[in-house]
Structure 1
Amino acid sequence: MGYRDNIVGKSPDFEFPATKFGKNCLNLKFQFSWLYKRKWLAYSSIDNGAYCKYCVFYANNEAGSCNQALGQLCFKPFQAWKKAHDKFNKHESSNYHKQSILEYQSYYSIASDKTLPINLQLDINKEKQRTNNRKIIIPVIETIIVCERQGIALRGHKDFGPLNLEEPIEDDGNFRTFLKQYLKVTVDAGNDSYLLARENCGRNVQYTSSQIQNEIVESCFEIILSKIVNKINKNCYFSILADKTSDISETEQFSLCARYYDLEDKKIHETFLKFVPVTDLSGRSLAQTIIDELTQLKMNFKYLRGQGYDGAAAMSGKFNGVQAFIRESYYSAIYVHCSAHNLNLSISYACSVPSIRNAMRTIESIYAFLNTPKGQFEFTKHLNKFKEDTSFSSQKEKLKRLCPTRWTERHNSIDVFYDFQPVIISCFEEMILYSNTETSSKAAQLLSAIQTSEFNVSLIIIYKIFQYTKNLCTYLQKQNIDLFQALNHVDIIISQLQSIRTGFYFLISNKNYNQQAIKDLSEFYSDDIVQEVIETEVKLWHTHLEKLSIKSVLDALDNCNKDLFPNVFKLLQIFATLPVTSCEPERRFSTLKRIKTNLRNSIG
C-alpha cells in the first residue's frame, strides 16, 4: 500500500528534461501543472514519461478496445507532450481507467480499515442471509412439528401465496393458521424479528409451499429414525418385530419395530421404526423387505438375535415363513411366536367345548338383540330401575359386544354380561309381553336359553377362568417384560387353573442348568461369547445368584457385573431382547388409521 500511495509528482523546482519534436525541433517537456489538474497522473524520471498511477496497478493488460493490449500511460511511458491534452482526456474517459479508479478506492478502503475485504463482506452477508433465513424457517419447522405431533392435517382450501396476519377470506389450512398465530404471539411478546424477516424476504424464500412442508416432514422423520437406529446399534443386540395390516386404500402395510435392552437406563424398549407398503405377501418377499429396510436404516445385522411375529403361515412357517428365510442368513435370530396370540389361540381352543361355545353364541345373540333402538330403550329402563330399587352397584351403562379377534375385549364383555344378567332377565320378562310377535318370541327364546343350568354353569366357568386370563392377557402386551417373566406368569396361571380343576396344585418344574445345556448355548452363540470360559462363568454366576432375589431378567442384568461376568451379561442381554409378543407393531395400526384417513386417501 505504501508503494502505491507514495507515487507522487515531482516538486515545483524539478526541471523536467526537454524533448525535441518535429521538423522544427521544438523543445517540449512535461508540465508540472498537469499533476495538479490530473490526480491520477505521475511522472517517471527514469523513463522520462508519464503514467497513470491507477492503471499501472489495476488495469487489465487486454482491457483495450477489441481486447487489445494497453500501451502508453499504462504499461509504457507517454512522451508525446505535443499530444498530451488529447491523450489525457481520452484516457480519462476510458472504461478501464474508471474501473481502475474504483478498484483502487476499494483497495484503499480495505487497507485503511475503512471497509472489510470482499471475502469477509461476502461471509458477513452470507451469515446475515443465513440468520435471516433461519428466522423465516424456524417458525415453519416448529409449526409443522406441532401439527404432526398432534396428527393435525397441514393444508387447507387455499394454502399458497404470501403469508399475512390478516384473517383469510377462504380457509388456508391449519399450518398457515398456526404459523400466523406463532408470529402474533412472538410479536406480542416483544420479539418482532421473525415477522420482520418474513416481511422483508423475497417470495421465493417463504418456506410455506406444500413441497417445503413435505420436505420438512421427511427430514424430521429421517432425523428421528436416525437417532433411534443409532441408539439400537449402540446397545448391540436387538430383535425385530413385524406385523401387517390393510390401510384405508386396501394397501398392505408392514409395521416394523425393534426390541432392545438399553445399557444406560437398564430398560427394555420396543420402538416403532416405520410402515412399509408391500404387495407380495409371500414369506420370501416379506423377509427380503425386512432385510432391505433394516439395511437401508443401517442397522447392524450381526447383532440381530430375535424375531417376533404372529402365527400366520407366511410369518411363522418352518420352511417358507419369514422367520425361516431370515434365519437362512442370520441363524442366531431366533423366532418367538407372539405370546399374546398364543394365549388367544389357547383360550379360543378351550372355548370350542360345545357348552362353552353355545354359551358364547347366546351372549352374542343377546347383545345383537338388545343393541336395537327398542332393545336399548328397554335395557336402559330396567337398568335404571335396578339401580334405584336394589343394591345393584355396577357403574357400567351398557352391554359390550364380544370382539371376534381381541380376547382382552372379550374378557371385559363377559364381565359386563355377568354383572348385567339380572337386568337382562328382567328386561326379557317384560319384552315377551310385547304385541310384536317377532320381538316377544325372540325375547322368550333368549330368556329360556339364559335360564338353563348348562348356560349358567358355562357362564360361571367362563367368568372365573377369564378372571385369571384377563390380567395375563393384559400383562403380555407390555413392552418391558421378558420371556422369563412371561413364562413365570403363565406357569402361575396354569398352576392356579389346575388347582381349580383338580383341587391341588400342579407344579410345573423348570429345568435347571446342566452341562449339556450350557454347551449347546455356547455353541449357538459362539459369535458372541467365549466358549472356553462360559461353563466356569455360569457356575460362578449360579453361586452368585444364591445370594440374590432375582425375579426377572432385568433384575439379573442389574445385578450382573459386566466385568466379572462378561459372557453371562451378553447372554442375559440377548435373552432380554428376545420378543415376547408382536403387540407393538399392532399398536401402530391405530396410528395408521389416524394418518391415512378416508379424506386423505381421496386427495392422494
Structure 2
Amino acid sequence: MDSVMCAPCVIFDTRKTRCFSTLPFNDWKNLSANVNRHHIDKVHRNCVAMAENFVDVMKGKKESIVCKLSSFTKDLVKRNRHILGQIIRVILLLTKQNIPVRGHTEERSNFMAVLQSHALNDPILADHLRNGKENAKYTSPDIQNEIITLCADHVLQCILTQCKEAGYFAIMADEATDCSTKEQLSICIRFLTVNEGRYELNEKFIGFVTCRSIKGVNLAEAIVEYLQDCGLDILKLRAQCYDGAGNMAGKYNGVQALIRERVPLASYVHYAFATELSQDPVSRAQMDGRQKLKTLCETRWMSRTDALTTFTQAFAVVVHALETLEADGDDKAGEHVRAILRFEFILTLVACEQVLSSLVGLTAILQEVSMDLLEAVREAGVVVDILRAERMDETLLDAIFQKAADIASEFQIDASVPHQNQRQRNRANYQVEDPKTYWRIALYNVFVDHLIEEVSSRVMANQERFCAQLLLPVRLRDLDDCQTDVIYNSFEDDI
C-alpha cells in the first residue's frame, strides 16, 4: 500500500474517517504540512501517551489500570478498617472500665472525648473525623450500640462454646428490679476448662432476662428458655445456685424444685454458701459501730445478728424515742411503740438474738476464701448439733425467758400467753397455762427446728456429691473406699 499511517492513532483512536488513523495518507506533495498539523493534534498526543503507557505496562515499568484500581480499593479498605478498629477499641475501653459512652451531647460524650484524644497521635483517624462524610463516620449512637451488641454476641458465643466443650455446667441466677421497675433476672454459668493440662473453674455472666412475674414457675420457665436459646443442653445441668427467697428455693414451687423436676441431677446450693461473701463491701452497720440502730440486712446474717443485739441493748431508748415522736403527732411512731411493747415481741427479739448468734461463726467460716464444700458441710453439721443441743437445754431457755421478762418488767409488761380459743385458726392454740412452756412450744422450738431444717437442706443436702472434691490431687490422701462408693453412686448417671 503506497501510503502512510500513524501507528498510535491506528491502535488507540476510536474516531472514524481521520487521516493517519482510519484513512491512509498518500498526498505526498502536502505530506510535511499534514504531518506537522497531525503531530500537534490533541487526539494524536493522547494516542501517543496511551501507546507509551501500554508499552511501559507490557515491559513491567508501570502497573495497569486494573492493578491501580485494585490497589486503591485495598488501600481504602485498609484505611476504613483502621478507622473502625480505633472506634471499636475506644468503645471496648469505655465498656471495660464501666464508663458511660454517651454524654450531655453527642459532641461532648465520653466516646468522642477519648476518640479525639486517640486522633492526636493518629493522622488517619484525625483526617476521618475532620473530613469524613457525615453519613459514614461510624460515630453515631446507633453505630455505637451496634458495635457493643456485636462485641457482646461474640463474647457470649465464645463463652457458650467453652461451656459446651466442658460437657456439664451449673447456673447461678438472681432477680432484681431495675430503675424502670422491670424485673431483671441475671444468669451466670459455671463450668470447667482444661488449660495446659490443668483444670480451671470458670464463672461467666451470660445475660439478663426480663421476667413477666417473680413467681417461681415464671422464673423457672425464663431460665430454661434462655438456656435453650443459648444452645445449652438443659439435661447437662448439674447444679443450680440461688438465694434463699421462697420463689427461688421453695421446696415445691420454687425455681430449684421446678427445674429439678426436669433435671433430677441438678442439685440446689444456697447462693450465700456458694459465693465468696468475703468480697462483699463491709455493711453500713458494721462501719457505724454500736452508736446507732443497725439496718436489718436481708442477706448478711452476721449484720442481722448485730442489729438484733443493738436493738435489744437500746430497747429502752427506742421506746422513749418513739413515745416522744408520738407526742409530737407522729401516728406511725405510736403504732410502732404499741407493737414492740408486747411480751410476745420482746421474747421473740431475745430468742432470735440468742439463736442466730450460733450462726455467726458458720457465716464467718463460709466467707473464707480457703473454705471448700466438704469443710462447709462439716461446719454446718457442727452448727446443727449445737442448735439441737440448745433446743433441749432447759437452762438456756430459762435464761432467755428471764432476760425477756426483765426487759418487759421495766415497762410493766407481764409474761403472759395469748388469749386461748378452741376455734383459733390464725395462730398456735396450745392449751398451756405456763407462759414459759407455751412460748417454748409455740415460738422457740418452732424457730430452732426451722433453722435446723434450712441449714441442713441448703448446705448439707448435697454432701454426697460434694465428696467429689476428694478426687482433687491435693485431697486424694483423704479418699477411702467408702467415699469412693459414695462418689460413684452420686455421679453414676454421668459416667
Range class of TM-score, shorter chain: 0.5 to 0.7
Which AA in structure 1 matches 2:92? I
Alignment check: 8 A CA contact 1:254 1:276 kept: yes
The higher relative CO (CA closer than 8 Å, separation ≥ 6) is in 1
What 5-or-longer segments of structure 2 have no aligned partner? 275-286, 394-451, 477-483
Q: Matches of residues 562-577 of structure 1 in structure 2 within 5 Å?
A: none
Q: In the alignment, which residue of structure 2 is the partner of 1:234?
A: 165
What secondary structure, in the 3-state scheme, does the structure 1 residue paired with 2:24 have?
coil
Read off the aligned partner of 1:400 and give its amino acid letter.
K
Measure how far apart 1:303 and its partner are: 3.8
**How far is 1:274 from its partner?**
0.7
Structure whose CA Rg is larger = 1
Spell out, residue by residue over 1:246-289, the C-alpha distance to the aligned partner (whole angstroms, 9 max, x if none). 43334443422212123336343332101133548888876665
Q: Shift in Å at residue 297 of structure 1?
A: 3.5
Q: Equivalent of 2:230, from 291, 297, 300?
A: 297
Which secondary structure state, in structure 2, belongs to the residue aligned with residue 272 of structure 1? strand
Using the alignment, how far apart are the partners of 1:397 and 1:322 within structure 2?
41
- CA-CA distance at 1:94 after TM superposition: 8.6
Name the counterpart of 1:339. 270
Q: Residues 469 and 136 of structure 1: is their aligned pair in 2 closer, same or farther, counting only changes over 3 Å?
A: same
- Which residue is equivalent to 1:176? 112
- State the distance in 2 between where 1:431 and 1:284 align: 42
- Match of 2:180, SS state, is coil
Deviations 1:303-357 (A, max 9, x none): 44445557766997979979757965xx5x63434525999xxxxxxxxxxxxxx
Change in Cα spacing, 1:64 to 1:556, as seen in structure 2 (3 Å) is same
Paired residue secondary structure (2:139): coil
Residue type at the aligned position of 2:206: L
Q: 2:147 aligns with which of 216, 226, 238?
A: 216
Could you tell which deviates more after superposition, 311-320 or 121-130? Answer: 311-320
| Equivalent position of 2:305 in the other structure | 414
Describe how 1:431-580 pairs up with structure 2 within 5 A. 436=327, 446=337, 458-470=348-360, 472=362, 487-502=377-392, 553-558=468-473
Partner letter of residue 78 of structure 1? P
Query: When you count helix as a share of all residues, which structure comes out higher?
Result: 2
1:384 corresponds to: none
Matching of residues 20-99 of structure 1 within 5 Å? 29-30=2-3, 50=5, 52-53=7-8, 55-56=10-11, 63-64=14-15, 78=24, 80-81=26-27
1:123–1:323 distance in 2 versus 1, CA, 3 Å: farther
Q: Show the counterpart of 2:400.
A: none
- 1:495 is aligned with what amino acid? D
Distance 1:400 1:136, change over 3 A: same
Structure 1, 467-476 or 433-442: larger mean CA deviation: 433-442
Give 1:415 deviation, angstroms. 0.6
Quick one: structure 1 residues 445 and 298, their matched pair in 2 at CA, closer, same or farther if it must change by over 3 Å? Answer: closer
Identify the residue that residue 80 of structure 2 maps to in structure 1: 133
2:89 to 128, 131, 142: 142
Change (3 A) 1:290 1:455: closer
Q: Which runs of 5 or more residues in structure 1 are unaligned?
A: 1-18, 20-28, 31-48, 161-171, 344-392, 522-550, 562-567, 579-604
Contact 2:239 2:265 in 1 (8 A): yes
Q: Which residue of 1 aligns with 2:292?
A: 398
| Cα shift at 1:451 | 10
Give the direction of change, closer, same or farther, for the CA distance of 1:204–1:432 in structure 2 (3 Å limit).
closer
SS at match of 1:416: helix
Pair 1:221–1:396, CA change in 2 (3 A): farther
Instruction: Quote how far apart the aligned CAs of 1:238 are.
Output: 1.0
What aligned pairs does 1:273-288 form with structure 2 within 5 A after superposition?
Answer: 273-279=206-212
CA distance in 2, matches of 1:435, 1:250: 34
**1:153 is matched with which residue?**
100
Quick one: which amino acid aligns to residue 230 of structure 1? T
Match of 2:407 in 1: none
CA distance in 2, matches of 1:290, 1:299: 11
Could you tell me whether the CA contact under 8 Å between 2:103 and 2:110 is conserved in 1?
yes
Correspondence list, 1:263-412, <5 A: 263-264=194-195, 266-279=199-212, 290=223, 293-299=226-232, 303-308=236-241, 331=263, 334-340=265-271, 395-403=289-297, 406-408=298-300, 411-412=302-303
Aligned twin of 1:258: 189
Residue 386 of structure 1: aligned partner: none
Q: Aligned AA for 1:399?
A: L
How many matched pairs? Answer: 401
Alpha-carbon contact 1:340-1:476 (below 8 Å) kept? no
Q: Taking structure 2 as the reference length, what is the TM-score of the superposition? A: 0.59
Inter-partner Cα distance in structure 2 for 1:425 and 1:318: 42
